[in-house]
Amino acid sequence: MPPPRITKPIYFGPFLVTSQVFHTTPHTFALVNLKPILPGHVLISPHRRVPRLRDLTPAEISDLFLTVQRVSRMIERVFNATALNIAVQDGADAGQSVPHFHAHVIPRREGDLEGGGDAVYRLMEGEEGDVGGHLEERERERGRGREERSDGVQTGRRRGQFPAVDADEVRKPRSEEEMRREAEWFAEEMEKENA
């Protein structure tokens, strides 16, 4: 068993994601996704749990987007990609599901999605892009679900979410073990980028 890469717990919004984290810098961490839209879909977030771009300091912005660049380079190389989508839903009314600033990085290549270069946006509309919903589902499966209101309304549910399509309903979230292994792999690959 290799020594743990990360020595203290890392939270993404209310969610403990330490085993999903593959890279950290003074202000930023990068994590693998519970239900990636495409293989290699990762998230980059500031350590400070603030929701909006406007909340970030100049040092945090520089560090975060330099990390996006370095992580993008690794992801593009490892997944033999030719392009990347980089997207921020900055606030609930823009589709943000976890109130902790994060940039999506998604590797792309020709013909990877039916519908062409921009088809990834359709997937971000559906259940696939609902990072918060996925993490809440996992919390419930772990038997320590987040609070639900007595009227049965789930809290933290993304506004304006599209109904989940059948194909996605049957898709299972990835296991902790699968994500931990991917995070270890990406951590090794990041070493090559820094060299």
Please give the residue ranges that form the binding site for a second copy (CB under 8 A).
53-54, 56, 58, 61-62, 64-66, 68-69, 72-73, 76, 81-96, 106, 108-110, 112, 115-122, 124-125, 129, 158-162
Contact 64, 46 (CB under 8 A): yes
Given the residues 27, 102, 104, 134, the one annotated as active site: 102
How far apart CA 40 and CA 115 sit, in angstroms, is: 20
Which is nearest to 21 in space by CA: 106, 12, 36, 77?
A: 12
Kindly state the smallest distance separating residue 115's Cβ from a second copy, in Å.
7
Distance of CA 93 to the CA centre of its chain: 18
Q: How far is the CB of 19 from a second copy (least distance, A)?
A: 28
* Buried-state track 60-89, b at ≥16 Cβ within 10 A, e below 16: beebbeebbebbbebbbebbebeebbebbb
Distance of alpha carbon 23 from alpha carbon 21, whole angstroms: 6
Q: How far is the CB of 129 from a second copy (least distance, A)?
A: 7
User: Which residue's CB is nearer to a second copy, number 80 or number 150?
Assistant: 80
Decide whether 105 or 135 has the Cβ nearer to a second copy: 105
Q: Measured from the CB of residue 116, what is the shortest distance to a second copy in angstroms? A: 2
Active site (annotated) includes residue 102: yes
Which residues are catalytically annotated?
102
